[in-house]
A and B are shown apart, each in its own frame.
Chain A
């Protein structure tokens, strides 16, 4: 999406929000229709349960609607919405008492010293391409550690820029970039294992 289109989408979102705040309830339906698929895919890739992902998507919209008056127009609406989604996910993991890996936990952020991965011979490229089936790829994503997976999904499933992800997760852009890089290299390694 180029900058002009990006700006247009942003303004469109803000106009829907303004209409909702003026009491035009139906304007929120445009927001729901626009973000239901990105949110559903975000949750589905994170928790791998369709019904639960639908419930969580609905919950995000409910929370967003109830707190619409707190939205500040100097922020992008999509990042605000995904921040709600991300917080909901953290709540879910806390309730499930899953071991949380915090995003600010120490990981090696140096993308110049990547993970130890098997290096393929040049002739193996085609063979490698064949391994990238949708099923293998989905499985590899689901095997990523949560702290890397979330950032990876925001970048490559939801198509957010590194700057936008940094705003959603409240992390430095460099950290986001390095974590996404690590996630991609891990997926590559997992695909090569298969």
Chain B
């Protein structure tokens, strides 16, 4: 083996050399004083580097870093996830649209979408009307209740009125209970 190149010396010292090559180098070093000298010089340099003092941070440094950290709120992650989801949905819509156009299924796709939209609109109208009628019903009940209470209050002493009112509530609950029970019975039969 010829004399070692500086790169090979570092590879040998830093254990960056394969086993067989390493053995050859060791064999050569036994007989070559020039390479031994070159190796010693570089070894001294590497040892010097290992002995270099390391700077230590102040004791409170880690705490200082921790106190300066921003809030890594899970919300932020959710916002990112939601944005990602919306973006994906948008892309899927585009892909679906392109595919539908290419496959010439656009007409029936459009029909389906139209029907879904009309259905959603009808359901919304129904819910709105339902609320409207319910509101009117509640209002009429409260008005008739007020009329009856006022009538009874004028006609009867307050204690009797209150007793009758409570009795009315009790009878209403009992009637509702019976109705529900009957309904359940008829379902079973």
Contact = CB atoms under 8 A, between A and B. Distances in A.
Given A181-B6, A184-B10, A128 B70 contact: no
B65 A32 contact: yes
A68 B33 CA distance: 54
B7 A181 contact: yes
A157 interface: yes
A101 to B, nearest CB: 22
A184 B41 CA distance: 11
A40 B5 CA distance: 34
B80 interface: yes
A181 B62 CA distance: 35
Given A20-B72, A28-B66, A125 B40 contact: yes
B55 A41 contact: yes
Interface stretch (A54-62, A72-80, A86-94, A143-151): A54-62
B7 A134 contact: no
Q: Which of B45, B74, B80 has the largest count of A CB atoms less than 10 A from its CB?
A: B45
A36 B45 contact: no
Interface residues of A, number: 46
A134 B53 contact: yes
B55 A61 contact: no
Interface string A181-194: 10011011001000
Contacts of A162: 16
Interface in B33-85: 33-34, 37, 40-42, 44-46, 48-49, 51-58, 61-62, 64-66, 68-70, 72, 74, 77, 80
B41 A120 contact: yes
Contacts of A134: 48, 51-53
Contact of B37 (A23, A57, A122, A156): A122
Interface string A50-70: 100110011001100110110
Given A32-B62, A111-B7, A40 B55 contact: yes
Nearest to B51: A134
B187 to A, nearest CB: 49
Main secondary structure on B side of the interface with A? helix
A128 B55 contact: no
A185 B49 contact: no
B56 A37 contact: yes
Contacts of B34: 122
Nearest to A66: B70
A111 B42 CA distance: 15
Interface in B104-159: none
A132 B45 contact: yes
B52 A54 contact: no
A128 B44 contact: yes
A61 B65 contact: yes
B163 to A, nearest CB: 60
Given A21-B77, A120-B41, A188-B41, 9 more contacts: A32-B65, A40-B56, A58-B68, A62-B65, A65-B69, A122-B37, A137-B48, A137-B52, A187-B45
The 6 A-B residue pairs whose C-beta atoms are closest, nearest first, are: A111-B7, A132-B48, A122-B37, A129-B44, A32-B62, A156-B49
Interface of B: 5-7, 10, 16, 33-34, 37, 40-42, 44-46, 48-49, 51-58, 61-62, 64-66, 68-70, 72, 74, 77, 80
5 contacts: A50-B55, A120-B37, A120-B41, A125-B40, A181-B10
